[in-house]
Amino acid sequence: MPIKNQRLVWVIWFTIFTPFLIYSFSSKSEVLVNNWPDILVFLILMLIASLFPIKFFNTPFMPIQGVSLTLFLFFGMVIEALVIQIAIFSMLLRVRVPKEDAYRFPLNSLIFIGTSFGAGSLFYLTGGTVPINETNSIYSMILPIIVYVSSYFLLNNYLIYILKNTLSTLKIPKFFNRALLLQALTTLLVVPVGITLTVSYHWSGYLAIILVGIPIIAFFIILQLYNRSRHDARLLEKVSQFGHNINDTSTINDILLLFSQSCRSIFSSENILLYERQKNGKLHRINVPSKLPEEMTSITFQDGVTLEVFNTRKSLLFHSKNAWKHLDPLKELTDTQSILSVPVYRKQVAGIVTLTSSKPRVFGKVDLRLLEIMGNYTVVALQNIRQLEQTKQESIMCSLTKIYNFRYFETLLKEQYNQDSLMYSMILIDLDHFKRINDAYGHYSGNKVLKEVASILRDLVGNKGVLARYGGEEFVILLDGQNSLNSTGLANTIREKLENHIFYVTEDLSDGKDADICITASIGVATKEEPSQSPLSVLRNADRAMYTGAKEQGRNKVAVFASTSF
């Protein structure tokens, strides 16, 4: 919530709460003095009930309406509102609301003051009276009680809806949604328990609070456990779906994007830090795609918590900064409270996944287990993709020169250059008398020359075309969209560059001394002349030009294929 709105909430609360407090103790002091043991027991019961909040779509719901109904029917609207205030403040203190969220105290206080007085007023307007006694039976006030319970529920949720959409940055698109329906169903279960407590208290006094209170608390616990199990089941379903989806991804970027989206759907995290173990044993940070503001994804180095997990091979879960700040002396994790960090195994620690949040007590043990599963899915998928890419790369690359092999080049021609409308040229390069280098200096020196020639060609071709190794000492270049003139110009540049370049080799077959040599190349150039001409036909023409027009004419030449000449 913006600071300006927070200040407004504090001012409104102070303006309303102070008169309410003064009025409560001045007008209801006699009721408080005469009935304080009963009211205290009700308060304790309400505090116990507040220990078991139920979450509906990240909105906590406290099942205290059954207890508050009994309070209202016996002690009136003011006492009920006062006890609710104490319960709300106690609950917020228990969950340790951070300083930056302190506005939640006055905000929740205002919501429940408005709810108590609004629902109470409607109760009185429909003919309801308190307290319940022999002459004022609960059965005679069925309609006012129904109005009170319904208005209490709707008014409480509507106030939350209005305040979130006007003061907070977290908007609720619709008032009537699935979360409201689930809360309504829970209220229908809680209210009969409250009526039972009311009737029992009427006949047995505060002893009934103990007799009925224990089943009520048990009911709240069971309700919360059921709610939590459903929540965990939904999360497990999302994780399972993530596992299926990640197996269908084919690129590293798709995996990281899916991981990022799934983490933000399942966990309340602001930063997602994914580290992968490199071959040298060190951790490498993988950039996870994010739609969050830049300041929320500013962690760029290995934080101390992640390194601790890497060294100990144990997951870490921290609820507040005080618990982990000793692990982060470099203060990489600024503005962070909750941290969840888990190792990912594949025979050894293959990676680390760390989630952070600026809010305390965000992650739980269930989150830890789910993140371990997702982390394993992700790192294994990343390694499989990299292995697949490496295998694919090895199948299309020449392992010696690190340029494309002829298998890739031939497939490229057949799949992409069999279209009549395409214009392209090819350059075929053959190193002159290369066998003499192998015979004089050894194959190691010959390979060294081939690698250096490939490097020179790679620099000259750049992104103008596709360079591949054609055979032993032959190279081929495909120039997309280039005519004969441009291709011939590049071929001459290549010939001159190779002719003037000095290659340093070692005389492995004799005394092992270093030597410098020069080489030349015979080059053939061919351009697609007719729309129906196949790419392999253009390649054969370049080959003919190279042999007939360059090698047979003395080598170290560039020959251009022309149908009238060859």
In this prediction, residue 289 carries a pLDDT of 61
Do residues 355 and 260 make contact, with C-beta atoms less than 8 angstroms apart? Answer: no
In this prediction, residue 101 carries a pLDDT of 78
Q: What six digits make up the tokens of 150?
A: 């319904």
In this prediction, residue 200 carries a pLDDT of 82
The model's confidence at residue 156, banded by pLDDT at 50, 70 and 90, is confident
Residue 300 has pLDDT above 50, yes or no: no
From the number of C-beta atoms within 10 Å of its C-beta (0-12, 13-18, 19+), residue 74 rates as buried
From the number of C-beta atoms within 10 Å of its C-beta (0-12, 13-18, 19+), residue 395 rates as exposed
Contacts by residues 102-105 (CB-CB < 8 Å, ≥ 24 positions apart)? 103/1, 103/6, 103/9, 103/10
Q: Lay out the sheet containing 521-527: strands in order across.
A: 466-469, 474-480, 424-431, 521-527, 558-560
What mean pLDDT is predicted for residues 336-365?
A: 84
What is the C-alpha separation between 497 and 135, in angstroms, rounded? 112
Residue 353's DSSP bridge partners are 274, 342
The model's confidence at residue 182, banded by pLDDT at 50, 70 and 90, is confident
In this prediction, residue 305 carries a pLDDT of 83
Residue 296 has pLDDT above 90, yes or no: no
What is the C-alpha separation between 196 and 216, in angstroms, rounded? 10
Q: How many CB atoms are closer than 10 A to CB 220?
A: 23
What is the C-alpha separation between 74 and 378, in angstroms, rounded? 58
Which of 169 and 498 is assigned the larger pLDDT? 498
pLDDT digits 0-9 by tens, 430-451? 999 999 998 888 889 999 999 9
Which of 48 and 470 is assigned the larger pLDDT? 470
pLDDT digits 0-9 by tens, 492-531? 999 999 999 999 998 877 677 888 999 999 999 999 988 8
pLDDT digits 0-9 by tens, 116-125? 999 999 999 9
Q: Which of 403, 536, 394, 543 is nearest to 460 (CA)?
A: 403
480-505: burial string, b at 16+ Cβ within 10 Å, e else? eebebeebbebbeebbeebeeeebeb
Give me the percent of the chain exceeding a pLDDT of 70: 91
If you average pLDDT over each of 77-91, 194-208, 464-478, which comes out highest? 464-478
The reply to whether omega before 215 is within 30° of 0 (cis) is no
What is the C-alpha separation between 161 and 171, in angstroms, rounded? 8
Query: Strand, coil or helix: what is 418?
Result: coil
pLDDT digits 0-9 by tens, 266-277? 888 888 888 877
In this prediction, residue 87 carries a pLDDT of 86
Residue 9 has pLDDT above 50, yes or no: yes
In this prediction, residue 297 carries a pLDDT of 38
Tokens 């190792």 belong to residue = 343
What mean pLDDT is predicted for residues 178-195?
A: 76
**What is the average pLDDT score of the chain?**
84
pLDDT digits 0-9 by tens, 380-436? 888 888 888 888 888 899 989 999 999 999 999 988 888 877 889 999 999 999 999
What mean pLDDT is predicted for residues 214-236?
A: 78
Do residues 275 and 288 make contact, with C-beta atoms less than 8 angstroms apart? Answer: no
Q: What six digits make up the tokens of 409?
A: 């080049």
What mean pLDDT is predicted for residues 327-341?
A: 76
What is the C-alpha separation between 447 and 274, in angstroms, rounded? 40
Q: How far is CA 525 from CA 20, 420, 539, 549, 562, in A?
A: 95, 20, 9, 10, 9
Residue 312 has pLDDT above 60, yes or no: yes
What is the C-alpha separation between 208 and 22, in angstroms, rounded? 31
Residue 290 has pLDDT above 70, yes or no: no
In this prediction, residue 292 carries a pLDDT of 39
Q: Which domains does the chain have, with CATH numbers?
A: 3-232 (1.10.1760), 249-393 (3.30.450.40), 406-560 (3.30.70.270)
Which of 281 and 289 is assigned the larger pLDDT? 281
Q: What angle do helix axes 365-396 and 252-266 make, rounded to 10 degrees?
A: 170
Q: What six digits make up the tokens of 85?
A: 């205030």
Helices (H) and strands (E) in the chain, counts: 16, 14
* DSSP conformation letters of 251-293: SHHHHHHHHHHHHHHHS--SEEEEEEE-TTS-EEEE-----S-
